[in-house]
Amino acid sequence: MLLATFVFAIMNVAVKLVDHIPAMEVIFFRSIVSLVMSGVALKAQKVYLFGNNKKVLVLRGMAGSLGLILFFTTIQSVPLASAVTLMFLSPIFTAILGIWIVKEQVRWLQWMFFAISFGGIMVIQGFDVRVSPVMAMIGIGAAFASGVAYNMIRKLKTSEHPLVVVFYFPLVSLPITLVYMFFDWVPPVGTDWLILIVVGVLTQIAQYFMTKAYQAEELSKVANIQFIGILYALGFGWVLFDESFNLETYLGMTMVLIGVILNVWYKHRLQPEK
């Protein structure tokens, strides 16, 4: 999950670099790359492309596609760290939804650790006037949709190969974005093509490791590790996009890390009880 989070952070930078291209178009190119890479890998491993539990796979694809569309929209419209901050509501949605969808228990101490990390995110976010209420709602919507998608991945832990789960993401998103592009097409020029391909490759790599993580461990344990991504967003935003932050931001970063570390430590401590 640490590896997936880092690769996703680099992918976010790439998406930010092509903010003149509509988010749906970026996802279209990303989906083509991911579909080809997943298909070739599955064929090479002689794994059936369309999986066993098609209903849950389609639901995962739909939720993931919606989350990605909304997230890319926020990345291109607000500062990188702010967009990622809003998206980090997804681990909390993941854990809450997991109580009903996959019947996983979240202990009261874990809620405290979530609260510490989330509180840190709120400190980092502060009162950013560059984020409108509409964009904030879009970001929250992206986080909720991602929470649904992560739960679908967990439900598929014993029935599907990780690459099959990844394969359904572009399989569902490709026709949705294709229809949209008929009405809003911006021709990529020059290095845009390279960046769009890089977005697809990085997303494929990150999705694979993220899927492996969610299939291997409990949702509440894995999801909280995603909060570390805010550190990457702040760093890349500062270095590449001149997005500044202050002393309060360092306090928020510390709170995020404390929540992550405590949650992972607590879940490992409980492991012998199983």
User: Using an 8 Å Cβ cutoff, are 78 and 178 in contact?
Assistant: no
- What would the pLDDT profile of 58-92 be if each residue is shown by its tens digit? 999 999 999 989 998 999 888 888 888 888 788 77
With a cut of 70, say whether residue 211 has pLDDT above it. Answer: yes
261 vs 186: which has the higher pLDDT: 186
The residues spanned by each domain of the chain are: 2-273
Band of pLDDT at residue 272, cut at 50, 70 and 90 = low
270 vs 93: which has the higher pLDDT: 93
Band of pLDDT at residue 17, cut at 50, 70 and 90 = very high
Q: Count CA atoms within 13 Å of residue 90 on its CB side.
A: 31
Average pLDDT, the chain: 85
3-state secondary structure the chain: CHHHHHHHHHHHHHHHHCCCCCHHHHHHHHHHHHHHHHHHHHHHCCCCCCCCCHHHHHHHHHHHHHHHHHHHHHHHHCCHHHHHHHHCCHHHHHHHHHHHHCCCCCCHHHHHHHHHHHHHHHHHHCCCCCCCHHHHHHHHHHHHHHHHHHHHHHHCCCCCCHHHHHHHHHHHHHHHHHHHHCCCCCCCCCCHHHHHHHHHHHHHHHHHHHHHHHHHCCHHHHHHHHHHHHHHHHHHHHHHHCCCCCHHHHHHHHHHHHHHHHHHHHHHHHHHHC
Closest CA to 169 of 149, 154, 151: 149
2 vs 257: which has the higher pLDDT: 2
With a cut of 60, say whether residue 274 has pLDDT above it. Answer: no
Band of pLDDT at residue 11, cut at 50, 70 and 90 = very high
The CA distance from 142 to 256, in Å, is 20
Closest CA to 24 of 202, 185, 264, 218: 185
User: Tell me, what amino acid is at 224?
Assistant: N
User: Using an 8 Å Cβ cutoff, are 106 and 37 in contact?
Assistant: no
With a cut of 90, say whether residue 57 has pLDDT above it. Answer: yes
Question: Is the alpha carbon torsion for 187, 189, 192, 196 positive or negative?
Answer: positive
Band of pLDDT at residue 259, cut at 50, 70 and 90 = confident
With a cut of 80, say whether residue 126 has pLDDT above it. Answer: no
- What would the pLDDT profile of 144-182 be if each residue is shown by its tens digit? 999 999 899 888 877 888 889 889 988 999 998 988 888
The total number of residues shown for the chain amounts to 274
pTM of the predicted model over 0.85: no
